Amino acid sequence: MIESAPSATPQRVTRSRRSARWNAVAGAVAVAVLASLPYLVYANVTGVLVNLFILLSLATLWNLLAGYAGLISVGQQAYIGIGAYAVFVLADNGLSPFLAIPVAALVSGLVAVPASFLLLRLRREYFAIATWVVAEAVLLAVLRSDSLGGGTGATLRGLSDLDPALRQAYTYWAALAVAVATLLGTYLLLRSRVGLDLTAIRDNEIGARSVGVRVALAKGIVYFVAAAGAGAAGGVLIISQLFVQPTSVFSVQWSAYMIFVALIGGLGSIEGPIVGTVIFYMLQQTLADRGAWYLIILGSVAVLMAMWVPRGIWGLISDRFDLRLFPVGYFLHPARGTVKVKS
Amino acid sequence: MTAGPLLELAGVSKRFGSIIVADSLSLVVRGGDAVGMVGPNGAGKTSLFSLISGDLSPNSGEVHFEGRAVTRLDSAQRCRLGIARTYQVPRSFEHMTVFENVLVAAYRGAGLRGHAASSLAAGVLDEADLRKQANSPASRLGLVQRKRLELARALGCKPRLLLLDEVAAGLTEPEVAGLVEVIERIRARGVAVIWVEHVVRALVGMVDRLICLAGGRIIGDGEPLAVLASPAVKDVFLGTSYGEASQT
């Protein structure tokens, strides 16, 4: 009985105003250059970059949680730890630690599913506190488990017969692969229809629900993806340190770093955490030998940014130059040669 | 035409502490109806909309849509069934473009995919006269355009029942006239409309039934001019005898 809305002139929809081909080429070149670094620079440089890639992955996922789904988690360290211990257990059973990383991601993701049923019922601040409680609960379970080394921690096996230079190169590539997979996965997720849901939820959750968006499902997907990514990052962490210490891998400090990076870079965009990670590492490198001042300056920067630049450095850049490195939007091209008549 | 009513509320009540916003409300709307709703501030008009759309769930009573009990469904589920609403204070997706705002509705509310979804979204933008702003962020829109976006987004859900919450508030006479024209066209397609508005003139010209709410109850329901003329409605809606005197 009901006709559809008056059909419009044929239209064309693309994912960005300009062609994004050059962005893709630039991205591929950047990854290729980074991938060739172990041949070009000393291991101490790639060692720093391993930590940078871990933090980049974590901050990207935290931005997905907080910047899009509105989930302020301070408990992602639960999944970092689960990922690290999963790699430890798998390597103990003879699997190559590098091949164990994707399995660890899956394990963390699967643990997150039942946890999300409980956590996603909670509103903002209760959710935040509960995520931390979950992380502490996982820590306590690990501390009591003798097979996981209890409080002393666990040493990763399976890499000792590898030449150290080769091991460092492999570790670097694994960290790069996890970071690229995280960014690419986030990009593809945000480009999908679920991504449009998430962007709507980011801007107005009640509004999103009122146009039929399954808010709980979208949040569940994000929580799963963020946990799986943190698991992969935890896997890289134990490989790079060859050792995992429970109170350090389950430390809330991880969440503090993720939040710092996402905040200074800018929430609600893929580019923000990339910019944030670079700034964080520049600060860390310049302030490394200043002891306590390092943390004081880091904290002050975070407070000042939150007060005066709430959308972060990338927010400033993208507003000023209308710049998007990752085209996730929809661009409606004007209908050719037709002038719309009606009111 | 479906045999039963499109929307049926049976004894719906909602309290916030001691404040009663819906006091055992019963109401039937048929497919294609155009219903206006008036009432003083705090009469419970927006709350009633929220109870129909699923933003609020009632303390007691049942809501049926097309014969199906929807009382326990949330607003997203009800939207996908065919109930769409606008909000008095626009809930635009600020950092998304106008086109993307409507596209979400076409994907999720109307359940369309690919080209069908973008066609619907583009068509709705034409209808709401927002095609020129299609690619600008919603945050750059002025008040009139924001109200139109609210309407466009609801239309993007392809509703069979459209709830309009003060879409004309704050608009000038010619702007209201333009909006009424758009709503007339929506109605002509068989979409039932319930329209809350303080601009009574805009309502009376368009609707064929007027409901007056006060204190969470229906105190008038029927032919618009008759409802406005009834003593109970005059008393509450225009105020006390003092209010009536000052109207002249």
Locus of tokens 């037709």: A338
pLDDT of B156 above 90: yes
Q: What's the pLDDT at B243?
A: 43
- Phi and psi (nearest 5°) for A324? -135, 120
Q: What's the pLDDT at B53?
A: 95
In this complex, the residue of B55, B105, B191 whose CB is nearest that of residue A211 is B105
CA-based nearest distance A17→chain B, Å: 9
Q: For residue A10, name the pLDDT band (cuts at 50, 70, 90).
A: low
8 A C-beta contact, residue B37 and residue B218: no
CA atoms within 13 A on the CB side of A335: 17
The DSSP bridge pattern shows strands B68-69 and B60-65 to be antiparallel
Cβ–Cβ of A213/B108 closer than 8 Å? Answer: yes
| Contact list, A213 vs chain B (CB under 8 Å) | 76, 104, 108
| SS3 of residue B61 by DSSP | strand
In this complex, the residue of A4, A203, A215 whose CB is nearest that of residue B93 is A203
Tens digit of each residue's pLDDT (9 = 90 or more) over A322-338:
777 888 888 888 765 44
| Contact list, A215 vs chain B (CB under 8 Å) | 76
Q: Residues 74-113, chain B: which have Cβ within 8 Å of A?
A: 74-76, 79-80, 84-85, 87, 91-97, 99-101, 103-105, 107-111
Average of per-residue pLDDT across B74-102: 94
When scoring B104, B125, B141, B161 by the number of chain A Cβ atoms within 10 A, the one with the most, hence best to mutate, is B104
Locus of tokens 């209808």: B127
- Phi and psi (nearest 5°) for B35? -115, 130
Does residue A255 or residue A310 have the better pLDDT?
A255
8 A C-beta contact, residue A207 and residue B87: yes
Q: For residue B244, name the pLDDT band (cuts at 50, 70, 90).
A: very low
When scoring B108, B140, B184 by the number of chain A Cβ atoms within 10 A, the one with the most, hence best to mutate, is B108
CA-based nearest distance A187→chain B, Å: 16
B191 close contact with A: CB closer than 8 A: yes
Q: For residue A284, name the pLDDT band (cuts at 50, 70, 90).
A: confident
B175 close contact with A: CB closer than 8 A: no
Tens digit of each residue's pLDDT (9 = 90 or more) over A100-109:
999 999 999 9
Please give the domain boundaries of chain B with CATH numbers for all domains. 1-51+159-248 (3.40.50.300), 83-157 (no CATH)
Q: What's the pLDDT at A59?
A: 95
Q: What is the DSSP string of A6-37?
A: PPPSP-EEESSSS--HHHHHHHHHHHHHHHHH
pLDDT of A272 above 60: yes
Q: What's the pLDDT at A343?
A: 39
Q: What's the pLDDT at B238?
A: 63
Mean pLDDT across chain B: 88
pLDDT of A11 above 90: no
Q: What's the pLDDT at B3?
A: 61
Q: For residue B245, name the pLDDT band (cuts at 50, 70, 90).
A: very low
Q: For residue B237, name the pLDDT band (cuts at 50, 70, 90).
A: low
Tens digit of each residue's pLDDT (9 = 90 or more) over A144-161:
988 888 878 888 887 777
Q: What's the pLDDT at A336?
A: 53
Average of per-residue pLDDT across B48-55: 94
Tens digit of each residue's pLDDT (9 = 90 or more) over A67-125:
888 899 999 999 999 999 999 999 989 888 899 999 999 999 999 999 999 998 998 88
Q: Residues 14-73, chain B: which have Cβ within 8 Å of A?
A: 31, 53, 55
Cβ–Cβ of B75/A200 closer than 8 Å? Answer: no
Tens digit of each residue's pLDDT (9 = 90 or more) over A208-249:
999 999 999 999 999 999 999 999 999 999 999 988 889 888
Complex prediction ipTM? 0.89
Cβ–Cβ of B190/A199 closer than 8 Å? Answer: no
Mean pLDDT across chain A: 87
* A9-13, A227-231, B6-10, B186-190: the lowest-pLDDT one: A9-13
Tens digit of each residue's pLDDT (9 = 90 or more) over B168-225:
888 888 888 888 888 888 998 999 999 998 877 778 888 889 999 988 999 989 888 8
Q: What's the pLDDT at B246?
A: 42
Quick one: B136 exposed, middle or buried, by C-beta within 10 A (0-12, 13-18, 19+)? middle
| pLDDT above 70 coverage of chain A, percent | 94
Quick one: A161 exposed, middle or buried, by C-beta within 10 A (0-12, 13-18, 19+)? exposed
A41 close contact with B: CB closer than 8 A: no
Q: Which of B69, B90, B86 is nearest to B78 (CA)?
A: B69
Residues 6+ apart with CB under 8 A from A321: none
Q: Which residue of B lies nearest to A13 if distances are taken between CA atoms?
A: B118
Q: Which of B116, B179, B113, B112 is nearest to B152 (CA)?
A: B179
pTM of the model: 0.87
Question: How many pairs of residues across A and B have Cβ atoms under 8 Å apart?
Answer: 141
A212 close contact with B: CB closer than 8 A: yes
| Contact list, A200 vs chain B (CB under 8 Å) | 93, 96, 101, 104
In this complex, the residue of B76, B131, B154 whose CB is nearest that of residue A214 is B76
pLDDT of B119 above 80: yes
**C-alpha to C-alpha distance for A235 and A245, rounded to whole angstroms:** 13
A336 close contact with B: CB closer than 8 A: no
